[in-house]
């Protein structure tokens, strides 16, 4: 007699809106220092920040601060509201400049020039979950600094089905944000010093 394989039961999920997410924080359900973000209505725990990841974020921030000055707002691990059900906290977001530095409300996709995610252990999550989320919201350009793969992936031309143009750049190559074509950056500057080969 053949064994009966039980099919997993699909339980309905409750999606939270951004407003409900903030009410949870106000009620103390979520603490201010909880490392979470709202992705497609689900509250997702963010990966712990390794020293390598933290250094990568600092490097990219310093690069943009030095090269761009007041031409943009450089936002570091701050929320970007992508609609009613998503408010991720990208590692770096270059935003249109505003006098109030977005004190009135978190920026939305229309305010974003470029998002940079620095990926160490989170590469698959960033590539498969966050990048498509940015595309659906209409974020014009995303760079994924793949520290493990020693490359930068550039995503352009967002659509509901993902980014139409994807390039993987290696050390020795250069890239400029579409919104800031005069800002040409070496991939090596984004990735930092190359790891010494193992002996």
Tell me if 117 is assigned to some domain: yes
Domain that holds residue 87: 49-191
* Confidence category of residue 44, pLDDT binned at 50, 70, 90: confident
Identify the CATH number of the domain in which residue 63 sits.
Answer: 3.90.1570.10
* Confidence category of residue 33, pLDDT binned at 50, 70, 90: confident
The pLDDT tens digits for 168-177 are 999 999 999 9
Tell me if 130 is assigned to some domain: yes
Tell me if 65 is assigned to some domain: yes
Tell me if 29 is assigned to some domain: no
Tell me if 35 is assigned to some domain: no
Task: Quote the number of domains for the chain.
Answer: 1
With 0-12 / 13-18 / 19 or more C-beta atoms within 10 angstroms meaning exposed / middle / buried, residue 191 is buried
Alpha-carbon torsion angle 141, 159, 171, 69, nearest 10: 0
Range list of H helices, the chain:
18-26, 51-68, 123-125, 131-137, 187-191
Tell me if 36 is assigned to some domain: no
Tell me if 89 is assigned to some domain: yes
What does the buried/exposed string (b/e) look like for 21-53 if buried means 16 or more CB atoms within 10 Å of the residue's CB? beebeeeeeeeeeeebbbbbbeeeeeeebeeeb
For the question of whether the overall pTM of this predicted structure is more than 0.95, the answer is no
Per the prediction, the chain carries an average pLDDT of 90
Cα 135 to chain centroid, rounded: 11
């Amino acid at each position: 007699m053949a064994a009966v394989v039980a099919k997993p039961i699909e339980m309905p999920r409750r999606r939270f809106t951004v407003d409900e997410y903030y009410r949870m924080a106000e009620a103390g359900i979520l603490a201010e220092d909880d490392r979470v973000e709202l992705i497609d209505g689900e509250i997702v725990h963010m990966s712990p920040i390794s020293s390598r990841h933290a250094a990568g974020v600092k490097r990219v921030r310093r690069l943009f601060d030095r090269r761009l000055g007041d031409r943009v707002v450089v936002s570091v691990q701050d929320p970007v509201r992508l609609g009613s059900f998503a408010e991720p906290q990208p590692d770096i977001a270059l935003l249109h400049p505003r006098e109030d530095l977005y004190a009135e409300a978190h920026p939305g996709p229309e305010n974003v020039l470029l998002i940079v995610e620095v990926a160490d252990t989170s590469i698959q999550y960033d590539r498969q979950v966050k990048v498509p989320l940015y595309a659906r919201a209409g974020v014009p350009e995303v760079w994924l600094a793949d520290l493990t793969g020693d490359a930068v992936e550039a995503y352009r031309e967002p659509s509901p089905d993902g980014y139409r143009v994807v390039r993987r750049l290696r050390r020795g190559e250069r890239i400029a944000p579409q919104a800031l074509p005069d800002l040409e950056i070496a991939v090596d500057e984004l990735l930092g010093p190359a790891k010494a080969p193992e002996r």
